[in-house]
Structure 1
Amino acid sequence: MDLARIPVLSLEDDRADLPARIGESFRTFGFAMVRDHGIDQALIDRAWELTRAFFELPVETKMHYHLAGKGGARGYTPFKTEVAKGATEKDLKEFWHVGRDLPEGSPLAESMAPNVWPAEIEGFEETFKQLYRRFDEVGAQILSAIAIDLGLDEKWFDPAIEDGNSVLRLLHYPPVGEGAGGAIRAGAHEDINLITLLLGAEEAGLELLGKNGEWLSVAPPEGALVINIGDMLQRLSNHVLPSTTHRVRNPEGARAGFSRYSMPFFLHLRSDFPFVTLPQCISEENPDRYPVSITADDYLNERLREIGLIA
């Protein structure tokens, strides 16, 4: 398996040329890596510890936090629920979603449910509210660099993501048994949202589909974030910034007996954001692929139906 040669950029040292460098990485891979992001390592370590503690709870306990009919938007989603678009086998994973706490009386409350928290895990709510805020802040920094690279004002995305429907997902891929059949930990897919910020997992397995049609391994250095373009930003940019297909393959040999944990932050637009293709991304060679505008919430629900999370 070849390694994706994604450059590792610094949010501290590369500020002046970050827009151009991160834009080049996104155009080449659909992915980028950043270090010096400022998220406290002690907070990250605590989050990993609490994530493991939750998924070690009995299934019966975890199911108390499964909100039927809510599409997994908050709380617990059980093992083998989600399916990659176009796939027949369900992913070998279970997950927990933390969303945004909206101000009282927000008009967005209809599309964004309140959070639920596991009473069994001390410090869970406090830790993940704090981590959510830090992901939110770092995500806004990345979007500022993207805006400049696209020829927009550096603050262009700020109102578009204010009270956005972003989700922090705590993921557990259990050990892979012999009964997995054709299923894998996460089938080949593209993310729905604007950008995804991913804290690296201890266990390998993340792969992106290269432009030559071959799978490339993604191996971030310790402490770095992996960032990838989602379909919403691909749509907004008229495919100037591509949403790259990726997957989590099954481990082999002795590693098949180990769990894998990861922690992606899916940065979303406001639910009422109207998609209008950026004029900077329309040309004679690249005509507007999306002349009909829909809202971010309409788009999200369309995609959630495709992956089996809502009916």
Structure 2
Amino acid sequence: MDRLDELAIFVAILDTGSLGGAGRQLRRSRPAVTRALAGLEERVGARLIARTTRQLTATDAGRELATSARRMLADYEASMSGVAAAPVRGLLRVTAPMAFGRRHVTPLVTEFLDLNPEVQVELVLADRNLDMIDEGLDVAVRIGPLPDSRLVVRKVGEVRRLLVAAPSYLASRGVPARPSDLLQHDTIASVAAGQGMLWRFGGSARGSSVAVAPRFIVNEIESGLIAARAGRGLARPLSYQVADDIAAGTLVRLLREFEPAPLPVHLVVPSGQHLAAKVRAFLDQAAAYFQRLGVIRPEGVS
């Protein structure tokens, strides 16, 4: 086995915390990962991984080797990117949130396919964050904070959480002037968006929260927007989900001065693995695409 490949497997074991996780990340069998680690420990002459019943952790020798291994792998990637471009081919698996994926990532993928005829892309749309290693995903579009430290991140934009309602609803029930007014209104909550029943707003040093009692609760955003367009109540989508509605006037944006801080949009890949040419090409094209697109506009709707 290539010595650099052994280092990549070693780093993947540390990043994922298990032999199986490293295998899934690098698309190797568990026995192959085990053999690579054993061979590396034999060559180093020291135990690199401390095995317990619950997890794998690096020994002192392992931590020292991991530091130099990460540097070597980064230098290798930099060197490879400086020579003639490797062929962009093979299967690329990308995941994104449902509505954002339909609106923004699908056109990006079709553009990428046009430019790279030897690439096949599988686009997985889901409103929950899939485990990239377990699912064998190459690139993910994530909106909001990223608690997973096993990811390499590139920020490409921002979106906002808005409060919207149909003109027909506002004509019959009035326009809220402050977040506390929502207690007198019908609301539509999307549990898939993680909203819950406590709606948080900005507009002051500490912001404010309103505990709503929604008349309608949905598990995917489009059902909630259908109800909102029909005048059934106030909804809290993300800006990209209602850009067309706001432009067309079918939904009205409310309480702008109380909107919470924008949410970041990231492109992420699992850490500890070499960036294949197809992944690197997609990241570069995606970053340029979102910059050109303007994921968030000055008025906060995209």
Larger Rg computed on CA atoms: 2
How high is the TM-score relative to the length of structure 2? 0.22
